């Protein structure tokens, strides 16, 4: 049987996010390593509109904050407002854009892919204005990191939508993913592995939980295999069963070779555990959430049912193998996969199975949250620190110079 975290540990609902839902279980944001609020053009954050809109006085913290994550496969937006130690989502958007389509072969973003991404980003820009967003950060990940014309695309996005995308490093991507989803780690002793299977890369982070609000990052790695990059590198999917099996085996071989240095590097750390126990795993990606939906036999994707779920690892492995054996038309008919994911989900399964081979676990935690939530927490933490500094300065001015 799958197990769920209590409702208080779950986030907003899927797509549309039912505005007003509270994100609970958030860490002490003052302890996080935030992105410092700044005015453009420093490539970090953007301010929109007046600091106070008539309703929001100093320290009221009712301003809305936004995070945009433009990945190799998806464009996602989250807009939220702080509420105590948590935040309430007021708007969201997600669209499959396949920005990295063809990148593995050409080294460039195609015109069609850039046009799709620009269309999604224009929707995001309209929402930022309509929601009177106070502070936003917009990031681009592996596709723009790798593409020869990535910087040109970033300039075009700024010119046509007003959104200033920041191409972040793999290290920053891993940090934001951990900040956004670590609260869903299953309780337990010893280290844990958080991983994010993206469109163009996969990030893995080994963490240790202590008394601090945030886990300590012990080590991390990013490999250039995501559902798009791995699918394209291994070529079109064969129609026959033997061909599909051979392609899947090649996918797993490539991922295993790329992860081997990281596995060797952290082996001594895992061996030092006083009471050896299966490593706790937490996955944040479309692959993991899709497989969790199939495990639950959902008629359609339901974020509230999936985010925070803990699934037996063998169930996830069995689903992965069945999907890999199935031809594309069969996968298209499955609920929660459909046409958009039918050709890419097999690569995600290969990455997931390889991770479970290298770091065996009894159970797998599932998170439908990550970079966007990490950005929002960083922005809110930094803004809170800035507000406290401004309040201290105002007090100092009122009190006058020390006598």
Residues 6+ apart with CB under 8 A from 193: 204, 205, 206, 207, 279, 280, 281, 282, 355, 359
- Quick one: average pLDDT of 375-385? 84
Residue 351 is assigned to a structural domain of this protein: yes
In the DSSP assignment, the letter for residue 40 is T
What CATH number is given to the structural domain containing 265? Answer: 3.30.420.150
Q: How many domains does the chain have?
A: 2
- Quick one: average pLDDT of 296-305? 92
Q: Are residues 241 and 162 in the same domain?
A: no
The two tokens of residue 217 are 């990052």
Residue 400 is assigned to a structural domain of this protein: no
Q: How far is residue 154's CA from residue 148's CA, in Å, rounded to a whole number?
A: 12
Q: Are residues 35 and 148 in the same domain?
A: yes
What element of type H or E holds 138?
Answer: strand 133-140
What element of type H or E holds 217?
Answer: strand 216-223
Q: Is the per-residue pLDDT at 13 higher than 90?
A: no
Amino acid 47: pLDDT: 46
> Token pair 């208080």 is at which residue?
8
Pick from 52-61, 104-113, 225-234, 237-246: least confident? 52-61
Q: What are residue 185's DSSP bridge partners?
A: none
Q: Are residues 45 and 143 in the same domain?
A: yes
Residue 279 is assigned to a structural domain of this protein: yes
Query: Which pLDDT tens digit goes with each residue over 148-163?
Result: 999 999 999 999 999 9
What element of type H or E holds 257?
Answer: helix 241-271
Q: Are residues 152 and 192 in the same domain?
A: no
Confidence of residue 264 (pLDDT cuts 50, 70, 90): very high
Q: Are residues 301 and 207 in the same domain?
A: yes
Q: Is the peptide bond before 41 cis (omega within 30 degrees of 0)?
A: yes
> Token pair 């994911």 is at which residue?
341
Amino acid 40: pLDDT: 32
Residue 401 is assigned to a structural domain of this protein: no
For 129, phi then psi, to 5°, come to -70, -45
- Quick one: average pLDDT of 6-26? 35
Residue 391 is assigned to a structural domain of this protein: no
Q: Are residues 189 and 94 in the same domain?
A: no
Query: Which pLDDT tens digit goes with each residue over 70-87?
Result: 999 999 999 999 887 778
Q: Are residues 66 and 87 in the same domain?
A: yes
Contact 203, 210 (CB under 8 A): no
Is pLDDT larger for residue 53 or for residue 8?
53
Amino acid 398: pLDDT: 62
Amino acid 250: pLDDT: 98
Residue 246 is assigned to a structural domain of this protein: yes
The radius of gyration of the chain's CA atoms, rounded to the nearest angstrom, is: 21
Q: Are residues 153 and 224 in the same domain?
A: no
Q: What are residue 399's DSSP bridge partners?
A: none
Q: Are residues 167 and 267 in the same domain?
A: no
Domain that holds residue 29: 3-171+371-386
Q: Are residues 238 and 345 in the same domain?
A: yes
In the DSSP assignment, the letter for residue 149 is T
For 94, phi then psi, to 5°, come to -150, 135
Q: Are residues 191 and 147 in the same domain?
A: no
Residue 394 is assigned to a structural domain of this protein: no
Residue 132 is assigned to a structural domain of this protein: yes
Q: What are residue 309's DSSP bridge partners?
A: 4
Distance of CA 390 to the CA centre of its chain: 32
Which pTM does this prediction carry? 0.80
What CATH number is given to the structural domain containing 130? Answer: 3.30.420.40
Class of residue 369 by CB neighbours under 10 A (exposed 0-12, middle 13-18, buried 19+): buried
Q: Are residues 233 and 103 in the same domain?
A: no
Amino acid 3: pLDDT: 37
């Amino acid at each position: 049987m799958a197990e769920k975290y209590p409702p208080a540990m779950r986030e907003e609902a899927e797509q549309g996010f039912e505005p007003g839902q509270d994100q609970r279980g958030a860490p002490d944001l003052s302890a996080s390593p935030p992105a410092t609020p700044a005015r453009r053009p420093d490539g970090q954050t953007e301010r929109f509109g007046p600091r106070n809109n008539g309703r929001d006085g100093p320290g009221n913290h009712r301003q809305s904050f936004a995070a945009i994550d433009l990945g190799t496969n998806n464009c996602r937006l989250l807009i939220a407002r702080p509420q105590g130690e948590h935040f309430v989502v007021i708007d969201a958007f997600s669209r499959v854009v396949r920005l990295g389509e063809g990148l593995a072969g050409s080294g460039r973003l195609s015109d069609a892919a850039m046009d799709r991404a620009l269309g999604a980003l224009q929707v995001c820009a309209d929402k930022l204005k309509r929601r009177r967003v106070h502070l936003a950060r917009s990031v681009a990940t592996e596709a723009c990191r790798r593409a020869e014309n990535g910087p040109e695309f970033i300039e075009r996005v700024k010119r046509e939508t007003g959104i200033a995308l920041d191409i972040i490093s793999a290290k920053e991507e891993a940090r934001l993913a951990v900040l956004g989803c670590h609260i869903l780690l299953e309780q337990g002793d010893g280290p844990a592995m958080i991983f994010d299977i993206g469109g163009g890369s996969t990030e893995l982070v080994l963490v240790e939980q202590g008394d601090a609000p945030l886990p300590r990052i012990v080590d991390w790695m990013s490999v250039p295999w995501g559902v798009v990059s791995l699918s394209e590198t291994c070529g079109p999917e064969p129609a026959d069963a033997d061909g599909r099996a051979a392609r899947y085996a090649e996918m797993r071989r490539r991922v295993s070779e790329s992860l081997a240095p990281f596995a060797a590097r952290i082996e001594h750390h895992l061996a030092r555990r006083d009471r050896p126990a299966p490593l706790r795993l937490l996955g944040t990606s479309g692959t993991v959430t899709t497989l969790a939906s199939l495990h639950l036999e959902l008629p359609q994707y339901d974020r509230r049912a999936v985010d925070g779920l803990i699934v037996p690892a063998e169930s996830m492995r069995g689903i992965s193998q069945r999907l890999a054996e199935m031809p594309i038309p069969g996968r298209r008919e499955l609920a929660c996969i459909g046409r958009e994911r039918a050709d890419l989900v097999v690569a995600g399964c290969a990455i997931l199975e390889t991770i479970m081979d290298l770091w065996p676990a009894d159970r797998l935690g599932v998170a439908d949250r990550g970079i966007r939530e990490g950005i929002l927490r960083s922005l809110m933490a930094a803004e809170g620190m800035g507000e406290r500094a401004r309040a201290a300065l105002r007090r100092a001015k009122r009190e006058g110079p020390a006598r």
